[in-house]
């Protein structure tokens, strides 16, 4: 059985890659291949221009200069914070005491080095685990669902803290997650994976605004699709003629992200719709509506707007849209 097939990517030093996909898509296997915990059947893996796997070469995991951070942090419960960090420095050639102090400062843990893991919050444990992985100055750091055990509020804060820590050290990083928001906010590059294959590789902006397929579009964020007929750089649809990001011809589906659609008075709309439901999320109002041709839409409106089920509204799209294969 093939777990991953034809996965290929190249990262610049200091870049953060997020492997994004559903459970079982092959993202953790890809991480294990990089770490040396699995052997590839074919192909090659290079870290810092050194071949570590492929063409008869095999570098053992402990010799790959790779740091690992797991879901459960894997801190040693019987060791203090500073001794947990020190544990990762057994082969470090420099001053170990100074390095531990530098990692405590990087993690915002000055004065807490003597504490035991059970005395730390979830966020502090996360930072210690990352500091331990960064301490020996690895070429690559691999993080497997590192925020999955944190509550929603802490998860949001830790994303930025962890990204800042990694960027300060300049180490190349590979994250694994199934959380689209996490991927978009953390990554310099994202690889979307389905069924052991890489569906698309690019920046968060590229994947969100120019997905290569409807499957990628719907996985990377909320998406509406309307049928249209394209003729070069425009397409005829229920919204009238809409400008396209790229030339297309024939029957297509136009990708409309919820924030691309504006709700206006009926007489000002390019199309008319009926509101079917609303959900308030604090920083925006999610409006569900159905066009007169029975196409359902999701729209992001301002949080102070008020719409009622059954209300008739006009809709406008005032930016270039992406045409995908019908």
At 198 the three-state DSSP class reads: strand
In the DSSP assignment, the letter for residue 10 is -
| Three-point CA angle 105, 31, 108, nearest 5° | 10
pLDDT of residue 152: 84
Mean pLDDT by 10 residues, the chain (326 residues): 86 97 93 94 94 94 92 90 93 93 94 96 92 95 90 88 94 96 96 96 97 97 97 98 97 98 97 98 97 97 98 96 91
Predicted pLDDT at 71: 81
CA distance 246 to 194: 25
Q: Rounded CA gap, 300 and 204, in Å?
A: 20
- Run of H or E residues at 133: helix 122-134
Centre a 10 Å sphere on the Cβ of residue 225 and count the other Cβ atoms it contains: 18
Taking the C-alpha atoms of residue 235 and residue 241, their distance in angstroms, rounded to an integer, is 5
Q: For position 143, what pLDDT does the model report? A: 96
Say if residues 87 and 79 touch (Cβ distance below 8 Å): yes
Domains of the chain, start order: 16-216 (3.40.50.300), 223-325 (2.40.50.140)
Q: Tokens representing 122?
A: 């979830």
* Residue from 260, 264, 300 nearest 280 by CA: 300
d(CA 79, CA 191): 36
Instruction: Give residue 148's pLDDT.
Output: 85
**Positive or negative torsion for Cα 159, 179, 284, 322:** positive
Alpha-carbon gap, residue 155 to 262, rounded angstroms: 31
How crowded is the C-beta side of 22, counted as CA atoms within 13 Å?
A: 10
96-106 vs 152-169: helix axis angle to the nearest 10?
Answer: 130
Measured in degrees and rounded to the nearest 5, phi and psi for residue 48 equal 55, 45
Is 181 strand, coil or helix? helix
Q: How far apart are CA 214 and CA 255, in angstroms?
A: 8
Per-residue model confidence (pLDDT) at position 255: 98
The 10 Å Cβ neighbour count of residue 261 is 24
Q: Are 202 and 17 in contact (CB under 8 A)?
A: no
Question: What local confidence, expressed as pLDDT, does residue 21 receive?
Answer: 95
- Say what the pLDDT of residue 311 is: 98
Report pLDDT for 194: 96
């Amino acid at each position: 059985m093939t777990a991953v097939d034809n996965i290929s990517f190249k990262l610049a030093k200091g870049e953060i890659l997020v492997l994004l996909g559903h459970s079982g898509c092959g993202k953790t296997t890809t991480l294990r291949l990089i770490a040396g915990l699995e052997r590839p059947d074919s192909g090659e893996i290079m870290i810092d221009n050194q071949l570590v796997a492929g063409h008869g070469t095999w570098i053992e995991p402990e010799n790959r200069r790779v740091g690992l951070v797991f879901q459960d942090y894997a801190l040693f419960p019987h060791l203090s914070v500073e001794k947990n960090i020190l544990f990762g420095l057994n082969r470090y050639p420099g001053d170990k005491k100074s390095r531990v102090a530098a990692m405590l400062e990087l993690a915002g843990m000055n004065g807490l080095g003597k504490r035991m893991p059970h005395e730390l919050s979830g966020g502090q444990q996360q930072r210690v685990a990352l500091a331990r992985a960064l301490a020996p100055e690895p070429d690559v750091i691999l993080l497997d669902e590192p925020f999955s055990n944190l509550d929603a509020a802490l998860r949001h804060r830790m994303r930025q803290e962890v990204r800042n820590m990694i960027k300060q050290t300049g180490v190349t990083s590979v994250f694994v997650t199934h959380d689209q928001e996490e991927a978009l906010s953390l990554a310099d590059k994202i690889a979307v994976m389905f069924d052991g294959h890489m569906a698309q590789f690019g920046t968060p902006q590229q994947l969100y605004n120019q997905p290569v397929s409807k499957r990628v579009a719907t996985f990377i964020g909320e998406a509406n699709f309307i049928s249209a007929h394209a003729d070069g750089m425009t397409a005829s649809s229920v919204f009238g003629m809409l400008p396209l990001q790229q030339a297309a011809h024939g029957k297509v589906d136009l990708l409309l992200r919820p924030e691309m659609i504006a709700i206006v008075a009926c007489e000002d709309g390019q199309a008319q719709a009926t509101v079917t439901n609303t959900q308030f999320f604090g920083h925006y109002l999610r409006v569900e509506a159905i066009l007169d041709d029975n196409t359902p839409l999701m729209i992001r409106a301002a949080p102070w707007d008020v719409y009622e089920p059954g209300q008739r509204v006009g809709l406008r799209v005032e930016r270039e849209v992406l045409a995908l294969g019908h």
